[in-house]
Every structure is written in structure tokens, then in C-alpha cells.
Amino acid sequence: MTDESTGISNHNRLVLYTQIIDEEMKPLTHFATNVELKQATGEAMANVLVEEFDKRGVKPQKIMSLGSDGASVMTGTKTGISFNKKARVD
């Protein structure tokens, strides 16, 4: 689950929560990070997400879904995070 907002200092931020299924098949939600964005574009946000998961050893193939508020920067079919083909995914 992720959301972009503008902080009190007028900088764009990306907040990321992750939800995992534990050994007992129970969903657990964890706060992952709150990072400053250099750009508030779908491509920039997608790259930040890939980098954050990469830091934690999570391969993109293991990510099942994206939760968001539905803003076009998150879900837009041309430049949104969920459809962004320019994002670095190794």
C-alpha cells in the first residue's frame, strides 16, 4: 500500500506499507518507509518502490498487488506506477 503526499516542508513524500502472509497464513501489515521524492511522477515513484524492495531483498516477481488511493499517478494506464514500463525492474 502506498500513497504520495506533500509534507509540511512542501516536499513530496512516498509512504509505503507492506502486507505479508505469515507462516500461519495470517496477513500482517508493516510500515516500510516514508521517503522524499525528487519527482512526483509515476516513473519516479515506481523506481523508488523498486529500490526500497530491492534493499529488502524482495524481487519484483514476488509482489502481488498495489494498494493506493486510485490517483492517476498511481493507477494511470500511461504513466501510473502500476503500469509503468520505464521503471527499473531487473
Most confident of 3-17, 22-36, 54-68: 22-36
Spatial contact of 27 and 46, defined as CB atoms under 8 Å apart:
no
pTM, two decimals, is 0.67
Spatial contact of 68 and 46, defined as CB atoms under 8 Å apart:
no
Helices (H), 1-90: 42-55, 72-75
More confident residue, 52 or 66: 52
The predicted pLDDT at position 26 comes to 94
87 band by pLDDT with thresholds 50, 70 and 90: low
The residue length of the chain stands at 90
Cα–chain-centroid distance for residue 25? Answer: 23
Helices (H) and strands (E) in the chain, counts: 2, 3
Quick: pLDDT tens for 25-46: 999 999 988 888 888 888 888 8
Domain boundaries, the chain: 2-83
70 band by pLDDT with thresholds 50, 70 and 90: confident
